[in-house]
Amino acid sequence: MEPYQFYTPLPPATADRDTVKVWFFQRKLQVSALCSSHDPSSGFSLDEMTKLKAKLTFYESRVGLNEMTPAVAITQFQQWLDAYGDYGAWQNYLNDQTRKDTAERERQRVEAEARKIRDAENAARSTATGICAQYRGGLLSSRASETPVGRVVCGLAVIGSPGAAYQGFSGQDMHQYPTTPLITALVSGITLSEKWPPESCAEVDALKRWLNGPGAAINSVEKIPGETFVFHARVWHPGGKWGGKETSPGWKDRGACVYCQRWIKRIGARSV
């Protein structure tokens, strides 16, 4: 499928032959499509639009066959428009093309933003699975317990920053940086409902690493650009009962815990 062609103004008389030929060719295609879409509600004369199409085809052919110089083709076409030889067809074409171009630019903008988010989601997942590949035998919590408790690992990626990804591990004994007043403020007010403190989560570790790198100047929760963050976590399951079924040891995807759900939502980040 050919890429969308936005309207471009008539080239200068000094433009080369290929540039001028392509310009007439692209305008011809767009005017032809407009002719094909004509109906009683279109608001333009099909006869006049068809004449415009023929004019564009004529100059495209003459320039392409080297039967007319680009400068002459451009000058004559502009003179024809200035003399109102098109009876308004050119302006109707421009109005229609402007609407199409505006819609296409918005579509491309939305798609580009969506692509950035997808890329960040993939980077977060890839970072988490990369940790799992390093610890194929699993990671267990250091907390004393009758039953083994698997650690959570996390990938943090930044939307719009390809290659920027940060690891995270649950358990402050594996955190790369100590808990700061900023982190304490971030998790303050969260009801303690798990068997671990909110400061010990893998997502917190990943955020700490970002705060000690690109985010070193951040000094308040409100300044954390959470809307650009994507987290993805995985947990080591030691084996045994899982969701009511007997399972083998292995790494499994998991959503953010109730603690992280709270502060991730607070800063406008994503967890996938």
Counting residues of the chain whose pLDDT is more than 90, the rounded percentage is: 87
- Model confidence band, residue 19 (pLDDT cutoffs 50, 70, 90): very high
Predicted local confidence at residue 145, as pLDDT? 63
Quick one: CA torsion of 232, 271, 260, 226, rounded to 10 degrees? 110
- Span 108-134, average pLDDT: 97
Predicted local confidence at residue 191, as pLDDT? 82
- Model confidence band, residue 122 (pLDDT cutoffs 50, 70, 90): very high
- Span 212-237, average pLDDT: 97
Predicted local confidence at residue 242, as pLDDT? 65
Query: Which residue did the predictor score with more confidence, 202 or 147?
Result: 202
Q: Express each pLDDT in 156-193 by its tens digit.
A: 999 999 989 999 999 999 999 999 999 999 999 988 87
Do 266 and 186 contact (CB within 8 A), yes or no? yes
Predicted local confidence at residue 144, as pLDDT? 58
- Span 144-153, average pLDDT: 80
H or E element: which one contains 77? helix 70-82
Helices (H) and strands (E) in the chain, counts: 7, 7
H or E element: which one contains 78? helix 70-82
CB atoms within 10 A of CB 212: 14
| CA dist., res. 137 & res. 183, Å (int) | 31
- Model confidence band, residue 142 (pLDDT cutoffs 50, 70, 90): confident
Q: Return all residues near 205 (Cβ < 8 A) that are at least 6 apart.
A: 154, 167, 168, 169, 170, 174, 175, 176, 177
The candidate with the shortest Cα–Cα distance to 207, out of 256, 252, 160, is 256
The mean pLDDT value of the chain amounts to: 94
H or E element: which one contains 30? helix 17-36
Predicted local confidence at residue 185, as pLDDT? 97
SS3 169: strand
| CA dist., res. 168 & res. 208, Å (int) | 9
H or E element: which one contains 263? helix 258-266
Predicted local confidence at residue 194, as pLDDT? 82
| CA dist., res. 258 & res. 260, Å (int) | 6
H or E element: which one contains 187? helix 181-187
| CA dist., res. 43 & res. 188, Å (int) | 62
- Model confidence band, residue 117 (pLDDT cutoffs 50, 70, 90): very high
Q: How far is CA 130 from the centre of its chain?
A: 23
For the chain, the structural domain boundaries read 17-87, 116-271
Q: Is pLDDT at 245 greater than 90 in this prediction?
A: no
| CA dist., res. 257 & res. 12, Å (int) | 62
DSSP state, 222? G
pTM: 0.82
| CA dist., res. 69 & res. 63, Å (int) | 6
Q: Express each pLDDT in 51-67 by its tens digit.
A: 999 999 999 999 999 99
DSSP state, 255? P
Q: Is pLDDT at 84 greater than 90 in this prediction?
A: no
